Amino acid sequence: MKKLDWYILKKFFRVFFFSIFLFAVIAIVIDVSEKTDDFVKSGLSATEIFTHYYIGFIPHIIALLFPLFVFIAVIFFTSKMAGQTEIVAILASGTTYNRWLRPYWIGGILLGLLLWVSNQWIVPKANNIRGSFEAAYVDSHSSYNALLTSSADIYFRIDSFTYAGIYSYDTANNRGNSFFSYKVANGKVVYNLRAETIIWDTAQKNWDLIDVIERQVTDDKEVVKYTADLRKTYPFKPVDLEKDKYTKDKLTTPQLIKQIKLEELRGSEGLNELKIERYRRDATPVTVLLLTLIGGIIAGRKVRGGSGSHLALGFIIAALFIITDRFSTIFSTKGNLPPLLAAWIPNMIFIWVVYYLYKKAPK
């Protein structure tokens, strides 16, 4: 890289990391003020609170607004360069417009890779730490608390030929009523099991069924068997029955891929939410690059109003991006839009925004 690249990249990274650090400090101060009573009641020391909560909270809040702060940082330092006529001098020296944009490409790619790695492993682990602390000390009814005390009816597929259901399953006690399962072969039910109660045995690591009726069906007869207490080993565990809509945020990408395959096998509802999360972890880093280029092209023009007008236009574009992302997500989770397309539609649209702004930029 040449001196020009280092000059722009130093400004880029300096403004970005300073702004993200400053925002993290502000977010921590606000969060501490809201949770002071909970921290006191927990009886934990300041060190324990940091290691058990804020070490997860900080990556979460940074990753949440990472693309936006990249965008703001690019607009801020580029607008300042344009206001001081530095960009005019760079282009007047014989440097082409594409050559001037090269450090923006490099910076956007590097920060995008940083976010990509974080999305795959670091942020999910941070969400798990943060969620566990909130469930234990902040709010016993937190949406992150996997051990919901409310009951629910659950229907799922055990394997390719076996289906099951549990009525009024209590995830707090790992206990359910009216459990049933049946196996299908050649379009017919060949085995049926019903139990009044199903309980997870934590010692034996299997399921205890009470008041069980089994029916074995063949072409010419049906065999019925009653058992007062029956132990069964199923391929599902209590953790697989917990309904936590934030589970996808706590899983690393390899775990998320495994969970998607498992839910596909079970025929679970809400599968598109898991898939959108999977694809978005790859799409968001590309968003960082696109916003970097948009910010550089917009702020590279010297206009009246300086950084203010650039920031205003930048926030409008960012708002449009967020709206597009929300609409595509809703159409996928509530409609028939493929999750892969839903995750990438905002980027596909804003690639054309980058192209349009690039063609219109004075060179």
Q: Identify the helix (H) or strand (E) that includes residue 54.
A: none
Give residue-wise pLDDT tens across range 173-188. Answer: 888 999 999 999 988 9
Cα separation, 28 vs 61, whole angstroms? 9
> Which position has the higher pLDDT, 323 or 117?
117
Amino acid letter, residue 48: E
3-state secondary structure 184-196: EECCEEEEEEEEE
Pairing between β-strand 188-201 and β-strand 162-170 as defined by DSSP bridges: unpaired
Cα separation, 207 vs 234, whole angstroms? 7
Separation of first and last alpha carbons in the chain: 22
How many other CB atoms sit within 10 Å of the CB of residue 188?
9
pLDDT mean across residues, the chain = 88
Average pLDDT over residues 281-296: 95
Cα separation, 151 vs 154, whole angstroms? 10
Give residue-wise pLDDT tens across range 6-53. Answer: 999 999 999 999 999 999 999 999 999 999 998 988 889 999 999 999
The pLDDT of residue 243 is: 64
DSSP reduced 3-state for 319: helix
Amino acid letter, residue 39: F
Give residue-wise pLDDT tens across range 290-333. Answer: 999 999 999 998 876 666 777 788 788 888 888 898 889 888 88
pLDDT band at 144 (very low <50, low <70, confident <90, very high): very low
Helix extents (H) in 176-270: 238-241, 247-250, 253-266
Q: Which pTM does this prediction carry?
A: 0.83
Write out the two tokens for 119. Answer: 């999305």
Residues 217/191, Cβ–Cβ less than 8 Å: yes
pLDDT band at 142 (very low <50, low <70, confident <90, very high): very low
Write out the two tokens for 360. Answer: 């219109």
Question: Residue 220 above 90 pLDDT?
Answer: no
Percentage of the chain lying above the pLDDT 90 cut:
60
| Bridge partners, residue 182, by sequence | 163, 192
The pLDDT of residue 247 is: 79
Strand order in the sheet with 188-201: 151-157, 162-170, 175-185, 188-201, 206-217, 222-232
